[in-house]
Copies of this chain bind each other. A is one copy, B any other.
Amino acid sequence: AKAKPADLSGYTRVKQQLVQPPYAPEHEQVATGGPKIIEVTMDIEEKLMVVDEDTGASIWALTYNGSVPGPLIIAHVGDYVELTLRNPASNAMEHNIDFHASTGALGGGGLTHVFPGEETVLRYKATKPGVFTYHCAPGGAMIPYHVTHGMNGTMMVLPREGLKDKDGNPLPYDKIVYVGEQDYYLPRDENGEFKTYEAAGDDYADSVDAMRSLVPTHSVFNGAAGALTGEGAIKARVGETVLMVHNQANRDTRPHLIGGHGDYVWETGSFGDAPQTGLETWFIRGGSSGAAMYTFRQPGVYAYVNHNLIEAALLGATGHFVVEGEWDNGLMEQVAAPRPIAS
């Protein structure tokens, strides 16, 4: 018995233009009109990326649309997402996609295996509100291999009425900052130097050995150490409310905003549960996305880190917010600048 076709009457088709992280595609926070079929397209790109300029460490990254993490996709509960996934003939490997936001067929992974030169189209209904990881999952050891080579991102499913606090008050945000934390397990040669490879997939056997240690050589935000510092730092203003979406497809992490807080935090990423409030540090379970909302109250630089400080300082898990506005001595004041100790 063949399954009945889906009844798509009453749905409006819209195209969502995906953008590079840390940005979010244009979207409504509170849904207007009826449910939609949101059409998105992702091209798989295998590319050589430098992950740490200091050491020159590099990886043949496996990416959705050329970025690590893949682009943020946004829908509302009740919408359909219709993805065209293309694996250009120039690629070397088979890929697919597993959406944690979806239901059935290994999250779509079972219906989307594309070899180089192939494309496929998958449609699923967003039934659960929240931020959810998506990632490649070709099978067996290829699953962690692809995921730890960058092939993962976040699908955000907003409640139709937008985000709310525990009492039902609306929690609008001014902008989204989308961070993907990537653990890399880069093989080293006998001298301890990071190895280089000719083509995507050539590091497979070495990578399997490196992964088995469970200790990453790098844990970086948005593909490479320093991607969100310096030129890549996020700009914000005092009074601005930022929703920080954090994806970690494989390994636990604990974001912290140095000098700020999580005013409202959906640690597990479920927007169906009331947010936690006033957190210093929040925990993203490996294989999930979570979100934290903060309204900046002071100008200056804020470091956004994985608060295993070794991972932040030595493995790369640090980004920066540069915030403009007026300093509030009522919140913090340097009463006495460093000076000789009074005896």
**Residues on A facing B (Cβ under 8 Å):** 1, 3-7, 82, 84, 86-89, 98, 100-115, 117-125, 127-130, 132-133, 137, 140-141, 143-144, 147-148, 208, 211-215, 249-252, 254, 256, 258-261, 267-270, 272-273, 276-283, 285-289, 297-303, 307-315, 326-342
Determine which of B110, B215, B254, B330 lies in contact with A215 in the assembled complex, contact meaning CB atoms within 8 Å.
B215
Name 13 interchain pairs, CB-CB below 8 A, sorted by A: A88-B341, A105-B259, A106-B258, A118-B340, A133-B281, A144-B309, A212-B314, A250-B307, A267-B268, A272-B278, A287-B307, A287-B308, A288-B307
CA distance A278 to B342 in the complex (A): 50
Q: How many copies does the complex hold?
A: 3
| In the complex, residue of chain B having the shortest beta-carbon distance to the beta carbon of A337 | B120
Most chain B CB within a 10 A radius of its CB, from A3, A84, A101? A3
| In the complex, the 4 A-B pairs of residues with the closest C-beta atoms, listed nearest first | A287-B307, A104-B298, A121-B336, A121-B335
The reply to whether B310 and A258 form a contact with Cβ atoms under 8 Å apart is: no
CA distance A276 to B267 in the complex (A): 11
The reply to whether A147 and B309 form a contact with Cβ atoms under 8 Å apart is: yes
Contacting residues, chain B, for A214 (C-beta < 8 A):
215, 308, 310-311
Determine which of B107, B109, B208, B302 lies in contact with A106 in the assembled complex, contact meaning CB atoms within 8 Å.
B302
The reply to whether B3 and A261 form a contact with Cβ atoms under 8 Å apart is: no
Contacting residues, chain B, for A258 (C-beta < 8 A):
98, 106-107, 109, 137
The reply to whether B122 and A335 form a contact with Cβ atoms under 8 Å apart is: yes
CA distance A303 to B130 in the complex (A): 22
